[in-house]
Chain A
Amino acid sequence: MKHFTEEEMIAHYYSEGFSKAEAERHLQACPQCAQAYADLSKLLRSVPASDLPLRDSGYGAQVWQSIQRSLQPYEPKQKRRFYWPRFAYAAACLLFLAGAFRAGRMWEQAHSKPLVAGAEQQTKQRVVLFVLDSHLDRSERLLVQLNHAGGEADDVGFRLQAEAQQLLSDNQLYRQSAAQANDPLLNAALDHLERVLVEVANSGSELTSRDIASIQKEMNTPGLLFQIRVLRARVSEPKTNAHAIPKGANT
Chain B
Amino acid sequence: MGNDDYMLIRSVLAGEKDAYGLLVARHSQSVFRVAFRITENEADADEVVQEAFLRGYRKLQDFDARSNFGTWIYRIAMNCALDVLNKQKSQTVVPIAQDYDSELPTVQLADRAAGPDRLLLSQEIETRRHAAMGKLTPTERVAFVMRHMEDHSTEEIAGALGIAPNSAKQAVFRAVQKLRQSLAPLWVRS
Q: Once the chains bind, are B21 and A59 in contact (CB under 8 Å)?
A: no
Chain B's closest residue to A42 (CB) is B187
For residues 36 through 78 of chain A, which have their beta carbon under 8 Å from a beta carbon of chain B?
39-40, 42-44, 46-47, 49-53, 55, 59-61, 63-64, 66-68, 70-76
Q: How far is the CB of B96 from chain A (nearest CB, A)?
A: 15
* Interface residues as binary, B123-150 with A (CB distance below 8 Å gives 1, 0 otherwise): 0011001100000000000000001110
The answer to whether the Cβ of B164 comes within 8 Å of any Cβ in the partner chain is: no
* Interface residues as binary, A74-107 with B (CB distance below 8 Å gives 1, 0 otherwise): 1110000000000000000000000000000000
Q: Once the chains bind, are B54 and A67 in contact (CB under 8 Å)?
A: yes
Q: How far is the CB of A49 from chain B (nearest CB, A)?
A: 4
Q: A68–B24 Cα gap in the complex (Å)?
A: 10
The answer to whether the Cβ of B76 comes within 8 Å of any Cβ in the partner chain is: no
* From B17, B37, B186, contact of A71 by CB (8 A): B17
The answer to whether the Cβ of A14 comes within 8 Å of any Cβ in the partner chain is: yes
Q: A7-B173, A42-B187, A43-B183 are in contact. Are A59 and B154 (CB under 8 A)?
A: no
* From B25, B40, B169, contact of A50 by CB (8 A): B40
Residues in A with CB closer than 8 Å to B105 are: none
Q: Once the chains bind, are A53 and B42 in contact (CB under 8 Å)?
A: yes
Q: A10-B176, A44-B176 are in contact. Are A74 and B14 (CB under 8 A)?
A: yes
Residues in A with CB closer than 8 Å to B29 are: 55, 59-60
Q: A66–B54 Cα gap in the complex (Å)?
A: 10
Q: Once the chains bind, are B129 and A47 in contact (CB under 8 Å)?
A: yes
Total count of chain B residues near the partner, CB < 8 A:
50
Identify which of B125, B126, B180, B184 gathers the most chain A CB atoms within 10 Å of its CB.
B180
Q: Once the chains bind, are B50 and A66 in contact (CB under 8 Å)?
A: yes
Q: A60–B33 Cα gap in the complex (Å)?
A: 13
Q: Once the chains bind, are A63 and B187 in contact (CB under 8 Å)?
A: no
The answer to whether the Cβ of A185 comes within 8 Å of any Cβ in the partner chain is: no
Q: Once the chains bind, are B49 and A63 in contact (CB under 8 Å)?
A: yes
Complex A-B: 30 CB contacts under 8 Å? A10-B172, A10-B176, A14-B148, A42-B187, A44-B176, A44-B179, A46-B125, A46-B183, A46-B187, A47-B129, A50-B37, A50-B40, A50-B129, A51-B112, A53-B36, A53-B45, A55-B32, A59-B29, A60-B25, A60-B28, A60-B29, A63-B28, A64-B25, A67-B24, A67-B50, A68-B21, A71-B20, A71-B54, A74-B12, A74-B61
Residues of B within 8 A of A (CB): 12-18, 20-21, 24-29, 32-33, 36-37, 40, 42, 45, 49-50, 53-54, 57, 60-61, 112, 125-126, 129-130, 147-149, 153-154, 169, 172-173, 176-177, 179-180, 183-184, 186-187
Kindly list 20 other residue pairs between chains A and B, CB separation below 8 angstroms, not including A47-B179, A50-B126, A60-B25.
A6-B173, A11-B169, A16-B169, A40-B176, A42-B187, A44-B148, A46-B187, A47-B183, A50-B129, A53-B42, A55-B29, A59-B29, A60-B28, A64-B53, A66-B50, A67-B24, A67-B50, A70-B54, A71-B54, A74-B60
